[in-house]
A and B are shown apart, each in its own frame.
Chain A
Amino acid sequence: MTEHHPPADPSWFEKPRNINLIIAVLIVCCIGLVLADSFYTNDHAHFEEWENMYGFQAWLGFIAFVVIVFLGRVLRMIVRRPEDYYDR
């Protein structure tokens, strides 16, 4: 990977303050969504022990994402070859 420096002409999305703002908004949304679980009942649950668990899809989304990325790291160890592998 090439070394990178902060761009000379940072856009709104590249200013550290705004990046932190985006992350903060995301965290607030996440907290709000988990709290939202208290304000409705799912009458159509097919797997009640799972679907009525507090914030079920929230932790599932988080864990699944992390696991997938780590599986990717493992896979990279196995299948990674130089870029011109097939050209030799």
Chain B
Amino acid sequence: MIDNIPPGMIMIVGALALPFLTARAQAVGVLALSLISLVFFWFLPESTPESTLGKLEIFGATLEMVRIDRLSRLFGIVFHIAAMVSAIYALHVRDTRQHISGLIYAGAAIGACCAGDLLTLFVYWELTALSSVFLIWASDNENSYRAGMRYLIIQVASGVLLLSGAIMRFVETGSLEFAKFVSEAEPLSVSSFLILFAFGIKCAFPLLHNWLQDSYPQATVTGTVFLSAFTTKLAVYSLIRGFAGYEPLIAVGCAMTLFPIVFAVIENDLRRVLSYSLNNQLGFMVVGIGIGTDLAINGTVAHAFCHIIYKSLLFMSMGAVLYRVGTVKASELGGLHKSMPWTTLFCIIGAGAISGFPLLSGFISKSMIISAAAEEHQFVTWFILLIASAGVMEHSGIKIPFFAFFAHDSGKRVEEAPLNMLVAMAIAAFFCIGLGVAYPLLYKMLPHPEIDYHPYTMAHVVTQLQLLLFAALAFVFLMKSGLYPAEQRATNLDTDWIYRRALPNVFGVVKSVVIAMDRVIREDALVLLRELLGGVDKMFNKNGLLGRTWSTSTMTFWATLLLGICLVLYYL
């Protein structure tokens, strides 16, 4: 019995029953279903070639809807943890839409990371897009509606690319199996490239990234916590599965670690700062995927695992601020540690974890990726990742907690976050510390458990602390000297400007040119028509050559002449 339920299905099907519960029971239902799903998932046996669960033959293609191996197991577990933490965080919410969409979204992501074929992956892929957009729309304002639309279009486009790639691949190879697309011997085929592009959109590759910073800050307080966990990490999982060791990804990942940190420095909306930070963290993972060695893949998976938890924690702390204060604009905040001490503490733990302080989760995961770069003697990559680590310290380690909870006192005095939010943050903070200390528990679940890696060497701890504390020193120096850019209310342009401003403007210009040309052509045609009609009128009016009244004698004369000519012609 237990073996027959596909992962995530309990949550997806269970979500459909939620509307029949009372508002309070719905929130508890999300948590309960996630927990039940986790128990079932935990006991699901690893897939073998003989296992029949989810195997299906249609139109000559073999579908493998459920594939459990070490990689999908670990992602499935962390997705369940994220779903449960988010559910606790949302216990106070009385909005059926959000509960249903959050639960389906989490279930779809879990299903997707256990999909063994591309068609199943596509179905879950689109389901994550369709279900999650309601978390953005649930903010119920014009901006969130528009941002949600843009989000939906881009996510669905990613799915369409995935489907196109899958179909082409099926035609080429006769198989829909979701396996590695890259090989040493041959360059990437067109179908693989389409699939990479689809993954790249969801993974927020540079220039394809801006849907993330555009939509996540528009979602509801609790919706953003759900969103931050699943979509992008599903893409990371898919890239590990399909493109591990594809070298161009190293360059892509390096770019991803760098450019968002500069945007994060000047961004005022702290949830948008976290979105840029999320983008930067994905960069570390993409670098790991590009390196593709066993250590790098272990590092990427470990980093995704830790990242989901500390990133939710940070989004939860900013969500709590938004919930209580009504804004997360850095320019409006400050001094909140007096009214929200617990939220402050949890935020600092999350900030420490993402920055990679020893004894916290980021330290034991990010360092594996950096070490993997060093072991492959990739000096530039290694150097960039170190710089990016200092950047993480800037935007997530210092900026988020400092400007929200300390800095200058904004005079805002609010209540501490609701109990359920605090409990959710406490659980996430517990994981951040737990993973940092009891790291072997995570390490032995990684895809390559035989790799022996020790994060807590003297050299590593000292150098990491040097990097972080000197970065903090730089912050003190810049603040004291007044060189740190002040938080300002502003909109900072990013690539979304292309489709929100440039393209509509270009379209506007094209439209006005077409309208002008159309008008000229129509006017000329009218002039011509008028001249023609004038000519006709001239000929046919009552004084015109053809229109005037003729006398009977003239007509008789012409008729006689005509008959005479006929007679002459007849005799010729």
Contact = CB atoms under 8 A, between A and B. Distances in A.
Contacts of B470: 30, 33, 57-59, 61-62, 65
Given A81-B491, A83-B490, A62 B265 contact: no
Given A13-B406, A44-B459, A76 B485 contact: yes
Contacts of A9: 338
A27 interface: yes
B458 A62 contact: no
A61 B466 contact: yes
Given A79-B492, A82-B490, A66 B478 contact: yes
A76 B463 contact: no
User: Interface size bucket, B side?
Assistant: 35 or more
Contacts of B473: 26-27, 30, 62
A49 to B, nearest CB: 10
A17 interface: no
Contacts of A66: 474, 477-478
B387 A64 contact: yes
Interface residues of A, number: 57
A7 interface: yes
Given A33-B470, A44-B457, A81-B493, 10 more contacts: A13-B406, A14-B409, A26-B472, A29-B469, A68-B261, A76-B266, A76-B485, A81-B490, A86-B491, A86-B500
Given A4-B408, A29-B469, A61-B467, A23 B476 contact: yes
A4 B486 CA distance: 13
Given A72-B266, A76-B266, A26 B469 contact: yes
A62 to B, nearest CB: 4
**B contact face: mostly helix, strand, loop, or mixed:** helix
A86 B494 CA distance: 12
A83 B494 CA distance: 14
B391 interface: yes
A11 B486 CA distance: 23
A50 B483 CA distance: 29
Interface of A: 1-2, 4, 6-7, 9, 11, 13-14, 23, 26-27, 29-30, 33-34, 36-37, 40-42, 44-47, 50-51, 55-66, 68-73, 75-76, 78-87
B379 A47 contact: yes
Nearest to A74: B262
Given A60-B467, A72-B262, A65 B492 contact: no
Interface-centre pick from A6, A80, A84 (highest chain B CB count, 10 A): A80
B393 interface: yes
A59 to B, nearest CB: 7
Contacts of A82: 490-491
A86 B501 CA distance: 8
Contacts of B475: 65
B374 interface: yes
Contact of A64 (B266, B337, B386, B483): B386
Contact of A69 (B331, B377, B379, B484): B484
A11 B492 contact: no
